Amino acid sequence: MKQALLGVLLVLGGREAAAEMFRCQKADGSVVFQQLECPITELAPPEVPKADAPAATVVAPVPAPPPKAPTPKAFAAPERPLAVPNPVAVAPASSQDDIKPSKRKRDVLELSAQFERCRADAPGFAEKSQEVYAAWRQRHAAVISEYQKQLMAKVRAGRRGDVTLPLSLCTEEWLRGIEPLSRMPDPRYQSVEKTWQMFMGALMTGDRVTALNCLTGRAHARWKARTEAMSDDELRRIGASIRALKVQWGDDYEKEGLVADTDNRVIGIAFRNVNEEWKITEMGGAPAAGLPLQ
């Protein structure tokens, strides 16, 4: 039995030995398979020819730049000391109470203070002046509100006797005099020229009421009697004979001028600002003269 197994192994071993192959590379680089071992000369790798080294490049030397001329030093101006400005005192903003009111506003404040004094200290005056007082406060609300502190201070000073706000003025006559100043102004009389146009139009149409509304003072009294005695045609002839009005002087309260008729006869005329309405106070006071008005 052992001899039989040994024989089989020998047969198999011989077949494996006979079947072994070798991979050999020849000198030309080709590969072959053979049963014999590769010769030693074929096992050495072929020599790889060396590449020729590139020719050396000759670099021309770069010429050095010419030396720069020395830069002259700039003249340095001497430093000036910083000037510190002197402190300036700024006046504080003035309040509304420090602003001095205009002449018209001063007149309103004066009459308002007298009104307040009369209503506070004159017996019965507050009751009989209630309607005029309400109209006065409404008409001059802007001025009273703007200078309320000054007004109250003036009233207190008047009650102490420091300023003149006499109780002797607290009469019905004073109240009647201040009543027109409590009315809202009519825009038809807001300038001398508009008042004059209203007066001339009233003469041409025989409107006696409107004509008298353009007048005040002595002019009103004189023309009231004249218009009552004249007919409408006579009033129209007067209006047609007047040619021009020229204002020569004036301020916010009074203005004066000249009126010329168609025969170049000239008379004087004066206007007054009453509660922001310009009214004729004088007419015919100047002597007649030949002075043409353009």
CATH number of the domain enclosing 199: 3.10.450
Where residue 98 falls among pLDDT bands split at 50, 70, 90? low
Helices 130-139 and 103-121: crossing angle, nearest 10°? Answer: 150
User: Could you give the C-alpha distances from 284 to 42, 44, 242, 244, in angstroms and in order?
Assistant: 157, 153, 12, 14
Shared-domain flag, residues 157 and 200: no
Residue 165 lies in a domain: yes
Residue 246 lies in a domain: yes
Count other C-beta atoms under 10 Å from residue 227's C-beta.
21
Residue 161 lies in a domain: yes
At 8 the pLDDT is 42
* Residue matched to tokens 């007298």: 114
Shared-domain flag, residues 139 and 197: no
Q: What's phi and psi for 121, nearest 5 deg?
A: -120, -15
Contacts of 75 (CB under 8 A, 6+ apart): none
Smallest CA-to-CA distance from 263 within 235, 290, 234, 293 is with 290
Q: What percent of the chain has pLDDT over 70?
A: 69
Do residues 136 and 178 lie in contact, with contact meaning Cβ atoms separated by under 8 Å? yes
Shared-domain flag, residues 178 and 191: no
Shared-domain flag, residues 175 and 214: no
Domain span holding position 117:
99-182
Give per-residue pLDDT as tens, 164-211. Answer: 889 999 999 999 999 988 989 999 999 999 999 999 999 999 999 999
Where residue 89 falls among pLDDT bands split at 50, 70, 90? low
**Pairing between β-strand 31-34 and β-strand 242-250 as defined by DSSP bridges:** unpaired
* Residue matched to tokens 């600002």: 273
**Averaged pLDDT for residues 256-280:** 91
Q: What's phi and psi for 15, nearest 5 deg?
A: -65, -40
Asked whether the CA dihedral 186, 191, 192, 196 is positive or negative, the reply is negative
Query: Amino acid letter at 115?
Result: F
At 84 the pLDDT is 53
Shared-domain flag, residues 124 and 146: yes
Residue 114 lies in a domain: yes
Structural domains counted in the chain: 2
In the numeric block, which tokens belong to residue 57?
A: 């490049």
Shared-domain flag, residues 264 and 192: yes
Smallest CA-to-CA distance from 190 within 263, 273, 122, 248 is with 273
Residue 50 lies in a domain: no
Classify 155 as helix, strand or coil: helix
* Residue matched to tokens 């096992």: 43
Single residue among 149, 182, 215 that ends a domain in this structure: 182
In the numeric block, which tokens belong to residue 180?
A: 């027109």
Residue 197 lies in a domain: yes
